[in-house]
Structure 1
Amino acid sequence: MQTYDAIVVGVGSMGGAAANELAGRGLSVLGLETFWPGHDQGSAHGGSRIVRQAYFEGPAYVPLLQRAYEGWHRLEEESGRQLATWCGGIYIGDPGSHVFTGSRHSAELNGLDHEVLDAAQIRARFPSMSPPDHAMGVYEANAGFVHPEDTTRANAEVARRKGAEIRYGEPVTHWSDTAGGGVEVVTSQGTYGADRLVLTPGAWAPQLLVESGFPIVVERQVFYWFTPDFTTAVPYERYAAPEHPVYVEETDGNGEVYGFPMSDGPDGGLKLGFFRKGSPTTPQRVERTVHQHEVEDMRARATQLFPHLTGPLVRARTCLYSTTPDQDFIIGALPQSPQVVIACGFSGHGFKFVPVVGEILADLAVDGATRHDVSLFALDRPVLRAPEGGAA
């Protein structure tokens, strides 16, 4: 049986970053992945993911995001790939909304450069958008998007250069503790041993961590690319980076949407989606077909913010969220198996943290502790505990 210092199960976004970090610290590393590099079966695909720091989800996330930004730049240097596009970001809502007030609070509390814009200022600066008159926005220049498929490939490539062994097309069937305090991992092709195990299973977490009973709901989400009507006064360039920012918007309770500038040319479409409008599923039975009623629902909502987004649908794709009850992540060592570190439940907003999560996982696997504040992600927090008399 081949043995390693550490085995990483799931070499997607988080697992690839962990393998990169562990190999960089001189450990012998095996990464095991069911699918192919940059695959589209989970959560890390679709061409773009937002990165931002004025974080309405909570100011406690901001120091982690600041460290993640350092990691994005470092990964670009190490891989030779351009992963990020810095086009700015705007977060629009009612004056008392969570999107607006939370973004402003995080920016002010953490000393982030930002501007507060009213609806008229938003429309003047970004003519593709037409928020209602009472809307307010927080604009952050230090925001943009990263390419998820290239990110997962970059981490795996750099990890391999540092000595890691990465095996694709090799699903893990089960793992177990060993008498000596290590682990044994069984796959479709063999059995491996290691002192430490890092589990980053994404939407497969409920199956791979069934004994832990974490209340993770896997949700089917859809994102869309619609074509603007360029016969209006708003040309393609005003929809594309660097003139067009990433965005999050919800006003008058119309449902939070997020999206990106056009990045694939005039025929590529403007990408956007609902943030919280998923349906429970599993990776095995997820419906990959996007239906016409879903397209019509998205277009009706999209044109509330983008009145000229009336051209043809270019394409639509599904992805998977793995959502916890409080929408905070799950990161830590398993109490019953402290040599096993897990990261899952990223609840649809984890990708921007990829570099720092890789660092945290390596810290926990090697040292049993990390300098980063991960108290938000504790495995024993109340919302993750099973109720008395039953499983979570």
Structure 2
Amino acid sequence: MTRQHYDAIVLGLGGVGSAAVLHAARRNLRVLGLEQYTPAHSRGSSHGHTRVIRKAYFEHPDYVPLLIDAYQQWSVLEEETDTRLFEQVGILQIGHPEGDVCHGVLESAREHGLPIDVLQPVDFRKQFPAVHIADHEIAVLEPQAGFLYIERAVRTQLDQAMDRGAVLQFEEPVREWRMTTNQGVSVTTDRATYVADRLIVAAGPWAERLLPPLAGHLQVLRKHLHWFACSNRHLDLNRFPVFFFETLDGEFYGFPCLDDRGLKVAEHTGGAKIERPEEDPIQVEPADLSRVEAFLSERFPGTAFRHSDHVTCFYTVTPDRHFVVDRHPQHPQVSFAAGLSGHGYKFAPSLGRALVDLAMDGQTELPIDFLHLGRLSGH
């Protein structure tokens, strides 16, 4: 059965896909969104209660203009819906002064004029007595950073898109898409076939299956998020910021205590390679938990922690750990975002807007040229 013809179809309604259907609806497009799971589900990369948002980007200064746009769009969404999505608690990033993290933060801050405070160990220990910093390290505090409530933000974008006329269908896996004879696109699911003028793919860990040009360029990693209950009130929300440590043993990050589950902590580095995310078990890996507990023991030495909760999520990574945001090289009617490499959610409203622009107009004013697909041809 073939249903209504749409201006655009969006595949995947997680962080970026939910933003894309909202932007399409704001443009008064007839848009259909398709998702294989339920709204704000826990089987992809857009769940786990919170996600970091920061501007002084150590990964590369070129991300900062996109972040400025994303901050503005998150603020607009909050105002439109009277919903709290962002907590500006700041972020502490700790490591060697010449390490990738602290050096990169300071470079981005200098290039874009962002406010940053550098704390030497003596000053840091006075301000954050619950945390251990080594004598050879520095701490970089970005006051404009914080975190987003991730599931709440996804649901808010979906609700706003539906209020503006978007058609969203859940628990409907996509089997294939193909070009039609009139340069449109058809999408076949378990239920029906749909047709549209344009296609936007935001499929997270499933991107490579839907986009053959990405074959060999993406790797899906299983990542673990842990919560640790504690009685240290110095680590509570509004008393303690988000944190990110670059250590010799890896990179670890976390969030202040928001509820009885306590401190949320995860390792950013590492991760087990997987082939079928839809079949991946949600269970604690003892080796991963041991590494996180060792980090807590070293960096929060005076606090007793009890492991209280755990979820898994997925990083879909590119060889250079930068996103891919582009149009399909053979089919310019198709735009996509993929390989967000474990640091993409904060950009969701900007990436969603860029994808709609690329699909409908063939270009976008957002500065995404450095994220083009062609750069991966050398990897």
Fold match (TM-score > 0.5): yes
Correspondence for 1:220? 222
Correspondence for 1:390? none
Conserved? CA contact 1:214–1:385, under 8 Å: no
Deviates more, 1:319-328 or 1:297-306: 297-306
1:12-91 aligned at under 5 Å gives the runs 12-91=14-93
The alignment partner of 1:337 has SS state of coil
Correspondence for 1:363? 357
Conserved? CA contact 2:88–2:147, under 8 Å: yes
TM (normalized to structure 1)? 0.93
The alignment partner of 1:343 has SS state of strand
**How far apart are the structure 1 equivalents of 2:371 and 2:286?**
38
How many Å apart are 1:209 and its aligned residue? 1.6
Structure 2 residue 242 is matched with structure 1 residue 240? no
Q: Which amino acid aligns with 1:187?
A: T
**How far apart are the structure 1 equivalents of 2:5 and 2:302?**
58
**How far apart are the structure 2 equivalents of 1:275 and 1:210?**
28
Post-superposition Cα deviations, 1:286-306, rounded to whole Å, max 9, x if no partner, equal: 232103333222101222221
Q: Which amino acid aligns with 2:330?
A: Q
Conserved? CA contact 1:329–1:346, under 8 Å: yes
Q: Which amino acid aligns with 1:274?
A: E
Conserved? CA contact 1:79–1:157, under 8 Å: no
**How far apart are the structure 2 equivalents of 1:108 and 1:296?**
37
1:132-143 aligned at under 5 Å gives the runs 132-143=134-145
Conserved? CA contact 1:86–1:242, under 8 Å: no
**How far apart are the structure 2 equivalents of 1:75 and 1:173?**
33
Structure 2 residue 291 is matched with structure 1 residue 297? yes
Which residue among 176, 188, 191 is the counterpart of 2:190?
188
Q: Which amino acid aligns with 2:308?
A: V
How many Å apart are 1:184 and its aligned residue? 0.3
How many Å apart are 1:10 and its aligned residue? 0.4
Q: Which amino acid aligns with 1:157?
A: D
How many Å apart are 1:54 and its aligned residue? 1.0
Conserved? CA contact 1:214–1:384, under 8 Å: no
**How far apart are the structure 2 equivalents of 1:304 and 1:187?**
50
Which residue among 271, 280, 296 is the counterpart of 1:278?
271
Q: Which amino acid aligns with 1:359?
A: R
TM (normalized to structure 2)? 0.96
Conserved? CA contact 1:88–1:246, under 8 Å: yes
Conserved? CA contact 2:222–2:271, under 8 Å: yes
Deviates more, 1:174-183 or 1:300-309: 300-309
Correspondence for 2:320? 326
Conserved? CA contact 1:78–1:158, under 8 Å: no
Q: Which amino acid aligns with 1:258?
A: Y
The alignment partner of 2:126 has SS state of helix
Which residue among 124, 127, 134 is the counterpart of 2:126?
124
Structure 2 residue 149 is matched with structure 1 residue 147? yes
Conserved? CA contact 2:43–2:278, under 8 Å: no
Q: Which amino acid aligns with 1:271?
A: K
Correspondence for 1:389? none
Q: Which amino acid aligns with 1:24?
A: R
Q: Which amino acid aligns with 1:12?
A: G
Which residue among 336, 339, 343 is the counterpart of 2:330?
336
Deviates more, 1:122-131 or 1:315-324: 122-131
Conserved? CA contact 1:54–1:106, under 8 Å: yes
The alignment partner of 2:84 has SS state of coil
Over the residues paired in the alignment, what is the CA RMSD in angstroms? 1.3
How many Å apart are 1:33 and its aligned residue? 0.5
Structure 1 vs Structure 2: percent identity of aligned residues?
A: 39
Tell me how many residue pairs correspond in the alignment. Answer: 376
Post-superposition Cα deviations, 1:33-65, rounded to whole Å, max 9, x if no partner, equal: 010111000011110000001110011101100
Correspondence for 1:95? 97
How many Å apart are 1:123 and its aligned residue? 2.0
**How far apart are the structure 1 equivalents of 2:145 and 2:177?**
39
**How far apart are the structure 2 equivalents of 1:43 and 1:212?**
18
CA change 1:250–1:211 in 2 (3 A) is closer
Correspondence for 2:246? 250
How many Å apart are 1:214 and its aligned residue? 4.6
Q: Which amino acid aligns with 1:302?
A: L
Conserved? CA contact 1:329–1:376, under 8 Å: no
Gap regions ≥5 residues in structure 1 = 387-392
The alignment partner of 1:303 has SS state of helix
How many Å apart are 1:353 and its aligned residue? 0.4
